[in-house]
Structure 1
Amino acid sequence: MQRRDPFQVIKEALAKTLVFFYPLAGRLREGPGRKLSVDCTGEGVLFIEADADATLEQFGDALYPPRCIYGSGEMINCPLLLIQVTRLKCGGIVFALRLNHTMSDATGSNQFLSAMCEMVHGAQTPSIQPVWERHILMARNPPQVTCSHHEYDQLADTADNIPLTMKTHRSFFFGPADLSAIRGLAPPHLRHCSTFDVLTAFLWRCRTIALQPNPNDEMRVIVIVNARNRFNPPLPRGYYGNCTGYSVAMATAGEISRNSLGFTLGLVRKAKANVTEEYMRSVADLMVIKGRPWYTMVSSILPGKKNGEDGILVTLCLPTPAMERFEKELESTFKEQSNGGGDAKSPLSSL
């Protein structure tokens, strides 16, 4: 059987999928108070076909920071979904996607991509019907902020004046033995916590130590929570809009450095627990009252990870001297664990 052109296969599946996810083919408009709405114009999405004079093997295993797809820097009156398919010399392809988070979150984008895959395999409709009921998360009338939302604190950024040329991007792979070793650092009553909680708390602590801030400086970690099941009743199955809560755990650098992993782990768990239905309603009201403010990244870390069959890949960007200290902190931690009889190796060895 002759192999079909991957460009054409993906393009056809995309067109079929957009029939069911039609708002993604529209355009964002901005109204009074920076209120956003979707104009379902059917103008379509941006689809780019490209060829690269390289093989997949030449890219190596390192994970690099994402780059903006051409023409994708704006948000208002622009395509909401951007896909680039790059054909490689070896016959493989690279599939790149950029989705406007005003429209959807990771859960929603996964639903969209799953529907596309079903179309590739001949389906006529998605197995999970997409639900566009954005009114569920509309602000109340009158709006009332009932929770603390430190993610939207307007803080002066006095520390991060270091140019990108003096920063280092690295990716760290944590395999099962590494994750088990990190979990072993937690107190017994917290060892049942999720891998996300344990790894986030561990990275927050290591990063703080590596940065060497003033002990009284406030350090933050932003915890991303899928809030679909925090509602009563839960949001409809198939809801693909953005339903992400950004909750903040905070402590001084001195507290984080002096205390064990259990301290930061407890703060991460508390931040996740803060995301309730009332919290999400309060966020929606805050958007109206303050005119859609930006969430702050000052003195913060926003954990990113990629699950694989054998572990989790984490990307990080730090000033170069701090990155060197971060690596040493990892090496020291896993060396101590291996001396204690564990099988963990430094994630540095897995890059």
Structure 2
Amino acid sequence: MVGLKFHHLVFDGIGVAQFLKVISEIACGQTHPSIDPICWYRETIPGPPMLSKSLSLPAAKFHIVNSTHEFSIQTIKRLKEQVEKETSNRFTTFEVVAAILWKCRTQAINAIGDVSLCFVANVRHLLFQLPKAGYYGNCVYLLTITETAEQIMKASLAELVRFIKDAKESLPTKFKEWASGNFKGDPYKISIRYNDLILSDWRWIEFYETDYGWGIPNSISPNTQDFPFVTGIILKQPLPMDGVRLEGQVVTKEHEQRFIDEINKCVNE
């Protein structure tokens, strides 16, 4: 077992995974990393005025429990086929799983008013002067979708998946607006409202490819217990399974069982 703690002011997930891969290559006898690290490339990254004066977050007023939920590859395939049949469009696993989590969590907490789904998007591909690999620093944008709780609870899975896909497709435009300073609200200001869910997808980060000489990891697990906001990490299931696992701080104890029940009902309809 290998444990790691890193500060988000230094790395994002992709960056720290690249760093770990270099360490593993050296541990396995390589004298030079397969990808040279780029420690500082700030001149290529936009720096519009920040609206948030402080990165500190107030302590949460609710006690969220650890949540884990499994989605088998068979379940995901069936749901994707169902949504694609209804819409005549193709969707990703993240889009389908995120839609399920957002809908079921909104129902489980019996949310009132606006609810938001936020998820982290990599923007390295939008910075054309930045080399394709090797940059370790933060290079992400936080996409946010906000709708009324009533609308989310009434929406079909296909409608919610479309919301998420549309948000992903808006990334180049929104990032360009932010880079030029043409934005009203700070997209990097993390919400700590209980109505809001923040998701991150770790399935394609190189954590899963890091080999210190004992083979690739059987599983990856985040520690989100110290986070002052509602967050879930989407992971690969432990080997040899090939589905998806949710881990994180998603609901309070009061809403835990209903959240599980809503997910089970949604995936079995």
* Structure 2 residue 45 is the aligned partner of structure 1 residue 137: yes
Query: Residues 308-334 of structure 1, C-alpha deviation per residue, up to 9 Å, x if partnerless?
Result: 451111024312232111111122233
Query: Residues 248-304 of structure 1, C-alpha deviation per residue, up to 9 Å, x if partnerless?
Result: 0111111011110122111111222222276157258589x9999742232211121
Classify the secondary structure of the residue corresponding to 1:115: helix
1:186 maps to 83
* Structure 2 residue 120 is the aligned partner of structure 1 residue 197: no
Classify the secondary structure of the residue corresponding to 2:83: coil
Whether the 8 Å contact between 2:117 and 2:197 is mirrored in structure 1 is yes
Aligned residue identity for 1:333: C
2:262 maps to 329
Aligned residue identity for 2:258: R
Change (3 A) 1:194 1:169: same
Tell me which structure has the larger Cα radius of gyration: 1
More displaced 10-residue stretch of structure 1: 311-320 or 229-238: 229-238
* Structure 2 residue 128 is the aligned partner of structure 1 residue 244: no
TM-score, structure 1 as length reference: 0.57
More displaced 10-residue stretch of structure 1: 131-140 or 260-269: 131-140
Q: Distance in 2 between matches of 1:209 and 1:292?
A: 26
Whether the 8 Å contact between 1:224 and 1:246 is mirrored in structure 2 is yes
Change (3 A) 1:211 1:112: same
Q: CA deviation at 1:191?
A: 5.2
1:73 maps to none
Whether the 8 Å contact between 1:220 and 1:300 is mirrored in structure 2 is yes
Q: How does 1:83-102 map to 2 (within 5 A)?
A: 94-102=1-9
Whether the 8 Å contact between 1:198 and 1:265 is mirrored in structure 2 is yes
Query: Residues 111-133 of structure 1, C-alpha deviation per residue, up to 9 Å, x if partnerless?
Result: 10110110011111111011121
Q: How does 1:26-65 map to 2 (within 5 A)?
A: none
Q: Distance in 1 between matches of 2:105 and 2:197?
A: 9
More displaced 10-residue stretch of structure 1: 304-313 or 109-118: 304-313
Q: CA deviation at 1:231?
A: 3.1
Comparing both chains, which one has the higher relative contact order based on Cα–Cα distances under 8 Å and sequence gaps of 6 or more?
A: 2
Q: Distance in 2 between matches of 1:213 and 1:181?
A: 28
Change (3 A) 1:207 1:191: farther
Q: Distance in 2 between matches of 1:201 and 1:178?
A: 14
1:306 maps to 235
CA RMSD of aligned residues (A): 3.2
Query: 5+ residue gaps in structure 1?
Result: 1-93, 153-159, 337-351
Q: Distance in 2 between matches of 1:136 and 1:233?
A: 6
Classify the secondary structure of the residue corresponding to 2:3: strand
Q: How does 1:94-113 map to 2 (within 5 A)?
A: 94-113=1-20
Q: Distance in 2 between matches of 1:190 and 1:119?
A: 48
Aligned residue identity for 2:101: L
Deviating 4+ runs (over 6 angstroms): 289-293
Q: Distance in 2 between matches of 1:250 and 1:307?
A: 27
Query: Residues 183-206 of structure 1, C-alpha deviation per residue, up to 9 Å, x if partnerless?
Result: 244252365211111111111111
Q: Distance in 2 between matches of 1:274 and 1:225?
A: 11
Whether the 8 Å contact between 1:172 and 1:314 is mirrored in structure 2 is yes
Q: Distance in 2 between matches of 1:292 and 1:273?
A: 16
Whether the 8 Å contact between 1:286 and 1:292 is mirrored in structure 2 is no
Query: Residues 35-58 of structure 1, C-alpha deviation per residue, up to 9 Å, x if partnerless?
Result: xxxxxxxxxxxxxxxxxxxxxxxx
1:11 maps to none
More displaced 10-residue stretch of structure 1: 256-265 or 272-281: 272-281
* Structure 2 residue 154 is the aligned partner of structure 1 residue 258: yes
1:172 maps to 69
1:212 maps to 110
Aligned residue identity for 2:246: V
Classify the secondary structure of the residue corresponding to 1:250: strand
Q: How does 1:5-20 map to 2 (within 5 A)?
A: none
Aligned residue identity for 1:272: K
Query: Residues 126-177 of structure 1, C-alpha deviation per residue, up to 9 Å, x if partnerless?
Result: 110111212211425xx5x9xxx9xx7xxxxxxx743x2xx43220111201
1:37 maps to none
Query: 5+ residue gaps in structure 2?
Result: 53-59, 200-232
Change (3 A) 1:252 1:292: closer
TM-score, structure 2 as length reference: 0.72
Classify the secondary structure of the residue corresponding to 2:265: helix
Q: Distance in 1 between matches of 2:176 and 2:14?
A: 17
* Structure 2 residue 251 is the aligned partner of structure 1 residue 318: yes
